[in-house]
Amino acid sequence: MLVYSKFVLANSMILILFLGYFNYYNEAGKFSLSFNKEPFKNIFDFKKNLPFAAITLFFFIYVFSFWQNDGDLSYYFERLRIKLPFLALPIAFLGIPKFSKKQFHRLLIFFVGFMLLNSIGVLGNYLLNHEAVQKMMLIGKSMPTPCNHIRFSILIALSILAALYLLIEKVDQWRIPKGAYMGTALFLFLFIHILSVRTGLVCLYFALGVCSIAYVLKTKKYLLLVGIFALLAGFPFVTYKTVPSFKQKIDYMLYDHQQYSEGKGGVYSNSGRITSMKVGWDQFIENPVFGVGIGNLERNTKNIYAEEYPSYSKALVPHSQFIFTLAATGIFGFVFFMIAFLVPFFFKAAYRDLFFLGFYGVFFIAFILEHTIENAIGIGTFLLFLLVMLRRRGMDDR
């Protein structure tokens, strides 16, 4: 549902809450519904479960912004509603049995296969409607995808990392040959370039670079690192010369940047994104300690656009999770945001796991380029992957 339906995704999260918050069988193995108190106790066992407690800070930094609200509270409560999973799901996952290594690998195999099927569908539609899609991309639109193209590209990037991880781990499940993982990774790698969504591409290249360095340092295969970086450096140039959709996207990006430089960026996507970050940064500079308050951010942004950027068709809140947080909550909130983000990464050296490291590489860049966890799909992708990995047997006991 991360791909197909926000509504069903929300209901899926609610069902996970039921799995964690209730017991369904008694000690005799008979069905008996009862409230599960364990996850609420476990969340305060910081020695074992500090990352789960830290994740809830993504929710509480907005709660603490209540005192700053000036007037209409609708945007404030909308932000709290969207961020509720950061409070409810970490607790629920502590009531769910840990995932074994085999279960975790099977989840990744399913995810990779699912994204492979979706990519084949998107690619097939592109090939059948090549001219129409190219005309869309000529004016800055993206190739049609089942969900938001940016979220979809991030999922594709994660699926490439997952396929490579399964290959490196030599996973032997369901008699899937190891060559299938490599073939799938290569296909998805080519596909993400055809898809040509810049956020997904930058996230993927950064994550691959970081994971390659970590893998080579561990295995001492230094020549492999040279080959990987040569591939990552050269492939975009080859793709630009051979893949029309990729070339179209790069040419449009350069044109967009030129228009922004000339002060004509009001109707262009990149110009809008850059301007939104500038407006957000300016609000942070004026209110560096506590920010403008999450409830006031949208209204303040609209006022600034009306005064300083009247030619822009839409007032965008900062298209960067980091700048969004700084503008809304200031340095005070940003410190707690980074605690929430980094504690799971460093707790018991979780970053030593290559997929965990790649996952963080993807979302670190995504947080720079997008306000990734200010919508249901972004939250679902980030939170569900992170909680499953933290609840994986061997990860949190390491």
- Listed in order, strand segments (DSSP E) in the chain are 22-25, 31-35
Q: Which residues pair with 99 in a beta bridge?
A: 392
Residue 178: the pLDDT is: 87
Which residue is listed with tokens 């994971």?
211
Residue 138: the pLDDT is: 78
HSE-up (13 A, CA, CB side) for residue 163: 24
Phi first, then psi: give them for residue 24, nearest 5 degrees.
Answer: -115, -5
CA 397, distance to chain mean position in Å, is 25
Measured CA to CA, the distance from residue 30 to residue 79 in angstroms comes to: 41
Closest to 58 (Cα-Cα) out of 277, 325, 285, 296: 325
- Reading the chain (398 residues) residue by residue, the pLDDT tens digits are 889 888 888 889 999 999 999 998 877 778 888 899 999 999 999 999 999 999 999 999 999 999 988 877 999 999 999 999 999 999 999 999 999 999 999 999 999 999 999 999 999 999 999 889 888 887 778 899 999 999 999 999 999 999 999 999 999 888 888 899 999 999 999 999 999 999 999 999 999 999 999 999 999 988 989 999 999 999 999 999 999 888 888 888 888 777 777 666 555 667 788 899 999 999 999 999 999 999 999 999 999 999 998 888 788 999 999 999 999 999 999 999 999 999 999 999 999 999 999 999 999 999 999 999 999 999 999 999 999 999 986 665 54
Q: Residue 209 in contact with residue 229, Cβ under 8 Å?
A: yes
Token pair listed for 301: 């942004």
Closest to 115 (Cα-Cα) out of 200, 204, 2, 239: 2
Token pair listed for 276: 């939104």
Largest CA distance in the chain: 74
Residue 268: the pLDDT is: 60
Phi first, then psi: give them for residue 23, nearest 5 degrees.
Answer: -100, 145
| Cβ atoms < 10 Å from Cβ of 367 | 22
- C-alpha separations of 357 from 158, 170, 292, 326 in Å: 11, 18, 33, 25
DSSP letter string over 231-276?
Answer: HHHHHHHHHHHH-HHHHHHHHHHHHHHHHHHTT--TT-HHHHHHHH
Q: Cα angle vertex 83, ends 78, 88, to 5°?
A: 130
| Cβ atoms < 10 Å from Cβ of 282 | 14
Residue 336: the pLDDT is: 97
Contacts 24+ apart (CB under 8 A), 249-254: 249/137, 249/196, 249/198, 250/196, 252/137, 252/138, 252/140, 253/198
pTM of the model as a whole:
0.94
Residue 398: the pLDDT is: 46
Measured CA to CA, the distance from residue 10 to residue 153 in angstroms comes to: 21
Closest to 202 (Cα-Cα) out of 168, 253, 242: 253
